[in-house]
A and B are shown apart, each in its own frame.
Chain A
Amino acid sequence: MQLSHEALLTAYRSMVTIRRFEERVQEEFSKGGIPGFVHLYAGQEASAVGVCSHLGPRDYIASTHRGHGHSIAKGCDVTGMMLELFAKQGGLCGGKGGSMHIADLDQGMLGANGIVGGGPPLVIGAALTAKTLRTGNVAVSFTGDGGSNQGTTFEAMNMAVVLQLPAIFVFENNGYGEYTAASYAVGCHDIAGRAAGFGMPAVKANGDDFFDVHEAAREAIERARGGGGPSAIEVNTCRFYGHHSGDAQLYRGKDEVKRLRDERDCLKHFRRRVTEAGLLDAHQLDEVDTGVANLIEQAVVAARAGEPPQSGALLTDVYVSY
C-alpha cells in the first residue's frame, strides 16, 4: 500500500519521538530524576508505529512493561508521560501509576502492564465491547516473546477465536525475556506458528522494516474490522537497551548492541528507504528531528519543574474502607 507523504511524515515523527523519548529517559534515569525503574523501547519503534498507524482513538491497545513506545504511537501526550515518569502532578496517571502503568483511555491506551501476559485477556475484553456494541473498532494486544509463553495469552487467543473477536495479537520478539534468550524460552521457536495453532491467521513481520510491519498490520486490522476475527503477528525486532535501564546486559554477545544499532535500526532503514525512493527528502526529516528534540526537551523541563502529587492523592481514586 502506498503511504501518503503526510502519513510517512507522521510515522517518522512518531518513531523519532519514541527514540528520543527513550534516549532521554535513559539519561534522566541515570541522573536520578526518575524513581523506580524503566524498560526502554528504543530499537522496536517500527512495530508500535507500524501497527498503530492503522488505529484511531476508539481502537484500543494494551501494552507491556516496555510501554512507552506503544503509548506514544497511540497518541499519548509526551509531556504527560514524562511528568508521570517523574512522578509529578499532571502526569497521565497523576503520578500514581508510573512507567509501567501509563494509560490513557481517551486515546484508547488501556495501559502498560507490570504483569507479563496481563494484557491479552484485557484486549479481548475491549474487542468484546467493540463486537457487542458493533462499533467497528478493534483491539490490539502488544506482548513480548516472554508474554507469548504465558497461559493468560493462550487463554486469550483461544477465546478470541471462539468468540470471533476483533483482536490482534502482536508479539514483539526482541530476542530476550528479561535476561534469557527467546530461543531458549519459546519451546517451539515459532510464536506465529503457535498462534496459528489456536486457529487464527498468523504471520511474521520484520520489525526492522516499518513497511513490512505496516502491511502485516493492515491486513490483520482490516480483517478484524470486517468481522473476520482475530489474527496474530510476530514482529522480529531488537532492543537497544537492557531489560531495564541499568541492566548490565551480561547476557549480550560481544558488540551485539553496536551491531544491532548499525545494522538493524528501523529509523535508519526508514530514512534510507524514503529518501532513496524520493518520497521524502532529508531536509524534511531533519526538520522533524529538530521538532521532536524540542518537544522532548520541553517535556523534561516541565517534568523536572513539576510538583509531586499532594499527599491527599494517596487516598483518592479508590474506595478506602479503613
Chain B
Amino acid sequence: MITAITMPKWGLTMTEGKVVQWLKQPGASFAAGDELLEIETSKITNVVEADGAGSLIRIVAPEGSTLPIGALLAVVAPPETAAAEIDAFVSQFVVVEPADTGSEDVAAPTPRELEVLGRTLRFLELGTGDVPVLLLHGFGGDLNTWMFNQPALCSDRRTLALELPGHGLSSKDVGSGDITFFTEVIEAALAALTVERAHFVGHSMGGALALALAARRPEQIATLSLLAPAGLGPEINGAFIDAFMRASRRKDAAEALQYLVHASSSISRAMVEEFLRYKRLDGVASALEAVAHAWFPQGRQAVDLTASLRALSTPVQIIWGSGDRIIPVAHSDAASPAAVHVLKDVGHLPHMEKAGEVNRLLRAMMD
C-alpha cells in the first residue's frame, strides 16, 4: 500500500509549515514513533513522528519548502514499489482541506468564552469523553501552549484548555494575581463547565495551580501531570522573568523566549511576534507584573507546595526537561523518584519540545 506523509495542523492558527530537516532519508525504514522530519510552526520547530512502521520511499517536499497543511511531504510504500506507481500517487494526490477551513457547515474548533467572577475567560474544548483533561498553561502562556498536545489527546477524550486571567485574550484583571485568586477562578470555571472530575495537566505556574487544586479538592482530580511545575523550590530564573516582562521589542523578546527552550533556534519568528502581540495588549503589562510580584518576588518563588505534593494521594507524574533554564529540574526531587520523567535535551517546554513523548506519558497516565 502507498500512503502519504502530509503537513500536519498543530494548533489553532497554523495554515502552513516549513520543512526544516528530514530526519529519515529515502529508502530508510522506520517504526511507529520514529522521528521523520522537523517542521517549523508558528511557535517552535516540532518533530513529525511516524504513526506506524514503514519505508520512506520518496521525499516530495524538500528542506526549506513552505507548504499548506495537508500538503504531500513524502511517500511511504514498500521498497519494491515501482517508480511509475509512486509517480501516479504523487500526481493524483489531492490536498484534503482540513474540516475547519473553507467549508462553513463544519464547525471549526474555535475557542469559546466563559464568564467567571466578573471576568471573561477563553477556553478551547476539543473531543468528547467522560473524564475530561484540563490543561493549565503557565505564566505568560495561553491556549496555544497546548497546540501540539490537545489535538493529540482529544481523539478519544474531552479536553479543555483554559486561558487564565491576564493571559491570551482572557480578561486582563488578575486581582491580587496570587495562587488563591487563580485557584478560585479555575474552580469557578470548572463549576461553570460542569466538570466534577478531571485529569489535570499543568505547566510551570499552571502545574503549581493544578497541585494546589489537587490539595484543596482531591476528589476533583483523577490524575495529575505536572510539567516543569512551579512551587517545588525557591529557585527560578529571575533574569528570565525580568526579560519576559520588559520585552516590548522583537530583539528583546527573542532573547527572553530563548531561555524557554533547549535549542535556541527552535523559537520561531512567528512565536516572537505572537508573544509581542500579546504583550502589546492594554492591561497585560500590569497583569504580568501583579502575577510576577505575587509568585516570583525578587527572583524567588514565593509559593511552596512541596508539602502538598508529598501529602497527595492522587496519582501524579512530573515531567521535566534536563536543560530547563527557568526552574531547575532538581526541584523534581520533591516527588517520589518513580513519578518523575526527566527528558534529555529539553528546556522549560517539554510539551512543545518533545511533544510526542510528552503526549505518550500523558496518555499512559490517564489510561
A and B in contact, CB less than 8 Å: no
- Interface of B toward A, CB cutoff 8 Å: none
- Interface of A toward B, CB cutoff 8 Å: none
